[in-house]
Amino acid sequence: MSDSESAGSGALGDFIRSQRKLAELSQRELAKLADLSDAYLSQLERGLHEPSVRVLHGLSGALNVPADRLMRFLGRNTDDDETTDTVTTESAIMLDDALSDVQKQSLLDVYRSFIAANQL
């Protein structure tokens, strides 16, 4: 694994951990939902492995996060026409180290409620 792959795996692991905590799931619960072993999920969260597409899709469904967002952490672009890596509002909130997990969840809840209200 190259340094850039390692950095991507570490960032992905941090994101998975923060999403799991926001969803108030234990590692065991998330592993079961994603059809993974507890040990493998722990290794993913620590950035020790680069997961397969199948694993990313399992985590995507279990965490209710788009799979392409998870793939971007590893430098995998799922849209060949996309030339830039777009930062979404939700991902910016999730990646902001200045916020606690509770603050991140609060901001996401407010943001999602505004989006839902605008779609009515």
- Find the domain containing 115 and state its range: 87-120
Regarding whether 13 and 69 lie in a shared domain, the answer is yes
- 19 & 66 share domain: yes
The CATH number for 44's domain is 1.10.260.40
* 68 and 11 within one domain: yes
What's the CA gap between 1 and 18, in Å, rounded? 24
Q: Give the C-alpha separation, 120 to 117, whole Å.
A: 6
Summarize pLDDT for 10-50 with one digit per residue, the tens: 888 889 998 999 889 999 999 999 999 999 999 999 989 88
Same domain, 34 and 68: yes
Phi first, then psi: give them for residue 84, nearest 5 degrees.
-125, 155
Q: Which pLDDT value is given to residue 91?
A: 76
Q: Is the pLDDT of residue 110 over 70?
A: yes
> Do residues 66 and 9 share a domain?
yes
Radius of gyration (Cα) for the chain, nearest Å? 15
What pLDDT does 75 receive? 74
CA distance linking residue 72 with residue 87, whole number of Å: 10
Residues 73 and 91 in one domain: no
Give pLDDT, residue 63.
92
Same domain, 76 and 96: no
58-109 pLDDT tens trace: 999 999 888 888 888 877 655 544 434 445 787 778 777 888 888 888 888 8
| Residue type at 22 in one-letter notation | L
Task: Tell me what pLDDT residue 4 has.
Answer: 42
Query: How far is residue 42 CA from its own chain's centroid?
Result: 14
